Amino acid sequence: MKAWPVLAIALIEASLFLGHWLIYRTLVVFLAGSLSPAATQALRGSLFLLAFSFVVAALLGFRFSNWAVSFFYLVAAVWLGVFDFFLLASLLCRLVDFSLYLAGLHQNRPLTASLLFALAVLVCAFGVLNARKTLVRRVSVNLRNLPAAWRGRTALLFSDLHLGHINRLAFSRRIASMAARLNPDIILIPGDVFDGTPVDPDRLAAPFKQLSPPFGIYFTTGNHDEFGSKAQYIAALTGAGIRVLANEKVVVDGLQILGIPYHDTTYPLRMKATLNDLRPDPAAASILLSHVPNRLPIVEQAGVSLQLSGHTHGGQIFPFTWMTRRVFGKFTHGLHNFGALQVYTSYGAGTWGPPMRVGTNSEVVLLQFK
């Protein structure tokens, strides 16, 4: 293994360990007198093991595929979400405690901890239920030089399904059924159909065989599709009737559809050279499938009309919703202009890591051209 992944894993694990230690210290201090020595020891041991659970589950999950690994990954992923809100509860406990101290008011630490940690549990429960609900977002798009035949037609955008240990066949079937009911003229998928884990991609992609929009289904890879079994993922999608665009342009009834794989978008010069080779005609509308809503100056300069992206998940859960907006700004989600270029970024239909959504919603997007 190269040095940088080991360093990254070590830094992530160190952060998780420190966070778990803070939760432990907060509970011990704020519930002093309520925890027996045995309970304190059990809490310490449990949090110590849980601090390593997600990293271990992720490492196993990217190498093995069986019910035991999938179950362990699910438990660890749920705990990762619970950890996030327990850590926030711990920080709030200390903030409330300090504020009451400054104000000279009575401090009831057991009550403070009980209320805040109970609230964290409720938020986690909401997050799990909310993530299982997929919204249909309807958006009108007005593209310059759109062929007259495309006015009034619809395109279904869905991304970030993350099919793998958590989002399995039932989820794939549900998304395919939603797509069939919406009956779009074309389906566009800007990446991360798969989570990058060693699952059976043919089985998970099979439900998409039922889809037959008049103008086809087009896909380009996201970062997770390029983990591990990239060739198998692409073969499975191709077998399901999906056209995989790898630095390609197709013209569909006068509308240009372009796709650039994630790896090539990470290099600005390569992306610019690819768009120059694809030569989108500025006199006709064009849509670029690009997983991440970045490199926008390059895309606009190439004369692309609309870029469709995913990747951000909107941050998925707080406080990552705030952090993601610091990185991508307004292009974190929704339809926005970058000069002459329009960009739509989807929250995605699935989840990564914790199967929770707090502050965001799972979505598929029905675009109507005007």
DSSP string, 27-63: HHHHTTTTS-HHHHHHHHHHHHHHHHHHHHHHHHHTT
pLDDT of residue 127: 98
pLDDT of residue 34: 87
Beta bridge partners of 367: 139, 155
pLDDT of residue 1: 53
CA atoms within 13 A on the CB side of 87: 18
CA distances from 45 to 32, 39, 54, 60, 233 (A): 18, 10, 16, 22, 40
Q: What is the mean pLDDT of the chain?
A: 96
295, 331 in Cβ contact below 8 A? no
* Nearest CA-CA partner of 85 in 51, 121, 53: 121
pLDDT of residue 5: 77
Cβ neighbourhood burial of 291 (10 Å; 0-12, 13-18, 19+): buried
Q: Which amino acid is at 307?
A: Q
> Each residue of 231-286: pLDDT tens digit?
999 999 999 999 999 999 999 999 999 999 999 999 999 999 999 999 999 999 99
Rounded Cα distance, 348 and 159, in Å:
5
Neighbours of 148 (CB within 10 A): 7
What is the chain's Cα-based Rg? Answer: 23
Residues 339-350: b if buried by 16+ CB within 10 A, e if exposed: eebbbbbbbbbb
288, 260 in Cβ contact below 8 A? yes
Rounded Cα distance, 182 and 177, in Å:
9
pLDDT under 50: residue ranges of the chain: none
Rounded Cα distance, 221 and 191, in Å:
4
Q: Which two tokens stand for residue 190?
A: 């800007």
Alpha helices in the chain, H assignment, sequence order: 3-30, 37-61, 67-103, 109-131, 169-182, 201-205, 230-239, 262-265, 268-278, 296-301, 320-328
134-369 folds as Purple Acid Phosphatase; chain A, domain 2 (3.60.21)
Q: List, by residue range, all CATH 3.60.21.10 domains of the chain.
A: 134-369
